[in-house]
Amino acid sequence: MFSQPGAKITPDHPFFDIIEDAYSAFKGPKPVSTEVCTNCCMDPTIEADFFNPPIRELPIEYVRDWYFAAYQPPGIAKETWTYLLPRILEILAMGEEVSSNGFAVSLNRFETGNRANWTAKRWSVLDRFQRAFLDREIRRPNDFLDDFVCMFGLAGWPLEDLIAQIEAASDEELANRFWNDWCNCIPGRESIWITAFWESPGNSTMFDFYTSRRLHDRMAALSLSDDTEPKLAAKAFAVASVIEANSSEA
C-alpha cells in the first residue's frame, strides 16, 4: 500500500554518486524490528507496512513517521540504522527534513559520526557525505548553519573537525552565511544563532567559535578592504559587529 517515495535523487544532482555508493555500501538484510515504540507512536498502517517497500522506495512519510516514534536510549540497533541510513542520507541530500523536530536530530539515533563503528568502505561514504553536505550549507542561505553543524555534532563527528571545515570557507562565503543567520532579521534584533538541540559542551564550543577573535578579524578585514564590494562589506561589518557585541575577546 506504500505511496510514491518522494525526495528521490536524480543523476544530475551533485550528491548522486555519494547516494548511489551509500545504497551499495550499506546494503544488507531487512531488520526484524523498527527499534522504536510499537503499537503506539507510529501510524499503525505505516508500522505494518514499514519493511515492505524496497529501501530505495521507502516513502518519505514513512521515514518521518518513524522519526516521530520514541526509541530507547542509547539509540537504534546498528542493523536497523545501517539499513535505513542510505534512504535517510538521500532525503537529506534533497534538502528535505526527516524529522518534524528539524535537521539537528537527523543522524543521532546511532553514533553515525564515529569512524570506529564502520568499515572503511562505509566510513568513506559517510565522510564524503558529511563534507559535501556541510560545504553546501555553508554556501547557501538555507535554514541556519548551526542546525547542520549540530546534526553532525550530535551524531559523533568531532566538533574541531566541523569547525575547521567552516573556517576553510572563504571570507566572502562566511560573511554571506552568517549575515543570513544572524543579521537578516528585524533591525536591532541581530544575534548569534545557537540551536537548542546542542548538548553540553557542544553549545559552548560553537558559541566560542562564533564569537572568536579570529572570526571577528576575518569579517572586519573583509568589511574594510577596498576590494570588497559595498553590499558584501556591509554584511561583513554587520557580522563583525554581532561577534563583537557577544564576545569577551573580540
Alpha carbon 55 to chain centroid, angstroms: 21
For residue 250, what pLDDT band results from cuts at 50, 70 and 90? Answer: very low
Alpha carbon 15 to chain centroid, angstroms: 14
The predicted-structure confidence for 50-95, as pLDDT tens digits, reads as follows 999 999 999 999 999 999 999 988 899 999 999 999 999 999 999 9
Full-model pTM: 0.95
3-state DSSP of 61-112: HHHHHHHHCCCCCCCCCHHHHHHHHHHHHHHHHCCCCCCCCCHHHCCCCCCC
Name residues whose C-beta falls within 8 Å of residue 27's C-beta, 6 or more positions apart in sequence. none
Give the max Cα distance, the chain: 64
What are the φ/ψ torsions at residue 50 (nearest 5 degrees)? -55, -40
The predicted-structure confidence for 121-136, as pLDDT tens digits, reads as follows 999 999 999 999 999 9
**Cα 58 to Cα 82: distance, rounded to the nearest angstrom:** 14
**Cα 102 to Cα 193: distance, rounded to the nearest angstrom:** 15
The predicted-structure confidence for 177-224, as pLDDT tens digits, reads as follows 999 999 998 778 899 999 999 999 999 999 999 999 999 999 999 999
